[in-house]
Amino acid sequence: MFTVLFCFRVVAQLIVANIETGILPAFERWHSGAMPYWMLFLVQVLILGLMVRTNRFYTTGKIIASPVLGRVLLIFGTIYLLGMVLRLGLGLTLFSDDRWFANHIPTFFHLVLASWVLVVGRVYMQ
């Protein structure tokens, strides 16, 4: 589910970067401006590839339990999730005029990625 949501984000943002759909929010709402879009797109494709590969390994039983990796992913995922919850809260209150904080679409999808990392971390703990 998290991979499908993230894939939707990558495809939807690519669409609105090139055409105005009238259905999807404008490109500026999808892109916080932290890095150039071409670079962001490449990173997103790499992340999506990692997600698909990891999901495939899980569904085919090729993931080998690694408590150390699981703990690292759980710690990273927790920090990432809490950071994005803080970003969302600050964007809704104190920094509502700052594009990086106020664009809630990117923050939502960071929450999706953080949740995926937590799930994968839990899988590696088994």
**What pTM, to 2 d.p., does this model score?**
0.91
Write the pLDDT tens digit of every residue in 36-82: 999 999 999 999 999 999 999 999 989 888 999 999 999 999 999 99
* DSSP symbols for 22-79: SSSPPHHHH--SSS-HHHHHHHHHHHHHHHHHHHHHHHTT-PPP-HHHHHHHHHHHHH
- Report the pLDDT value the prediction gives residue 110, as an integer from 0 to 100: 96
Instruction: Give residue 59's identity as a one-letter amino acid code.
Output: T
Percent of the chain at pLDDT > 70 equals 100
- Report the pLDDT value the prediction gives residue 22, as an integer from 0 to 100: 87
Write the pLDDT tens digit of every residue in 23-43: 999 998 988 888 999 999 999
Domain residue ranges of the chain, discontinuous segments joined by +: 2-125
Instruction: Give residue 125's identity as a one-letter amino acid code.
Output: M
